[in-house]
Structures are given as structure tokens and as C-alpha cells.
Amino acid sequence: MARRYDPERRQRIIDAAIRVVGAQGLAGLSHRSVAAEADVPLGSTTYHFKTLDELMVAALRQANEGFAGVVAARRTLTDPHCDLAAELAAVLGEWLAGDRTGVELEYELYLAALRRPALRPVAAEWAEGVTELLVRRTDPVTARALLALMDGICLQVLLTDVPYDEGYAREVLARVIPGGGEGARTCAAPVT
């Protein structure tokens, strides 16, 4: 039988893995469950991803693009005249207002790095990328503290089903930023 040319198969497998984790959690992720979800032969998943860790790394990289996309679209984050706390609070609001399953999935994969060392470099890449962006506006220690605080706020919203409170997020983020945004103006995010 001739082999069917299918250049999108690898991507479909990653997308299927994300859907499986979104529906069943990490416990439901297997080559077999992903193959069924992607509607590909089982051998295709193991051809493209020898181990589940390899598949989870690809899924986490793709999931990380969700938050990165929200951050990248908000160009005002790098404007030194804009209130950094307000901008970060708005970013969290946009992200949490999006597809809740996607946000939960991103955190599930991110936290899976606790038990799966193969995921740690990808989780670290995400943290380093956000920290690099924040260092443009503040010092490295404050940038890492802001990232930790944003993670904490997101986890509280996800775990307690309490609605996101942008005013609260802005207030606590401002407490970590030297000067707390004094003299900075609230900037409207550019329409993308």
C-alpha cells in the first residue's frame, strides 16, 4: 500500500494530545488515546513522538503560545509611560477571559513538569520569556516576583472558581513594583 503524504499529521497529533489532556487530564494521555482523537494510526503517534514525554513537550510548547500571544499582542507592556501593574492585570484578564480549557490545560502541563523532568526546560523557557519581557520595565528580581504573583493569581482563579478581579490584581501587582506605577498612565491596548 502506498504511503499517504500527510504533512499536517504531526500537528494534528499535537492538537489531539491537547484535546485529550483538556478532556481527560494527563491521566488520559496515551499514544492510543491521541491516535484515536487525531484519527491516525497508532504507529503515527509513536513515529512522530517516541515517548509520551516528547508528545507532552510539544503540547506544552504549543499551549505556551496562548499566553505568549496575549502578551505579544499587548505592545503597551514595553511602554515605560504606561502603568505596568495595570497592563499586567489587563493581560491576565484577557488570558483568563479566553478559552478556560486552554488556560487549565496550560497550567496542567506546566505543573506536570514537577513529576516529568523532560517538561522542565519547556516550563523554564516560558518563565524566562515572560521574565525577559518584564525586565525591560523593571529589575530581574522584581520581574521574577511579578511572574510568581501572576501565576498565583491565575491558580487562585482556576482552583476556586472565583471570578478574576482585575482591580485586585492591579493593586497587588503595584505593591511589588518599585514606585507602584506612580506617575504612569493607563494605556489602551492596541487593537490587533
Q: At 68, phi and psi to the nearest 5?
A: -60, -35
Instruction: Say how many CA atoms lie within 13 Å of 11 toward its Cβ.
Output: 3
- The fold of 59-176 is Tetracycline Repressor; domain 2 (1.10.357)
Please check the confidence at residue 93 and state whether its pLDDT lies above 90. Answer: yes
Model pLDDT for residues 75-91, shown as the tens digit of each residue: 788 888 899 999 999 99
Read off the amino acid at residue 106. Answer: E
**Against a cut of 0.85, is the pTM above it?**
no
What fold characterizes domain 7-50?
Arc Repressor Mutant, subunit A (1.10.10)
Residues 71 and 93 sit within 8 Å (Cβ to Cβ): no
85 CB contacts (<8 Å, ≥6 apart)?
Answer: 170, 171, 173, 174, 177, 180, 181
pLDDT tens digits along 123-181: 888 888 888 888 989 999 999 999 999 999 999 999 998 899 999 999 999 999 988 65
DSSP letter for each residue of 37-99: HHTS-HHHHHHH-SSHHHHHHHHHHHHHHHHHHHHHH-GGGG-TTB-HHHHHHHHHHHHHHS-
Residue type, position 187, single letter: C
Residue 182 has what pLDDT?
58
Neighbour count for residue 61 (Cβ, 10 Å): 15
| Sequence spans of domains, the chain | 7-50, 59-176
pLDDT digits (tens, 9 = 90+) for 15-58: 999 899 888 888 899 999 999 999 999 999 999 999 999 998 89
In terms of Cα–Cα distance, which of 94, 85, 68, 81 is closest to 146? 85
Distance of alpha carbon 94 from alpha carbon 130, whole angstroms: 16
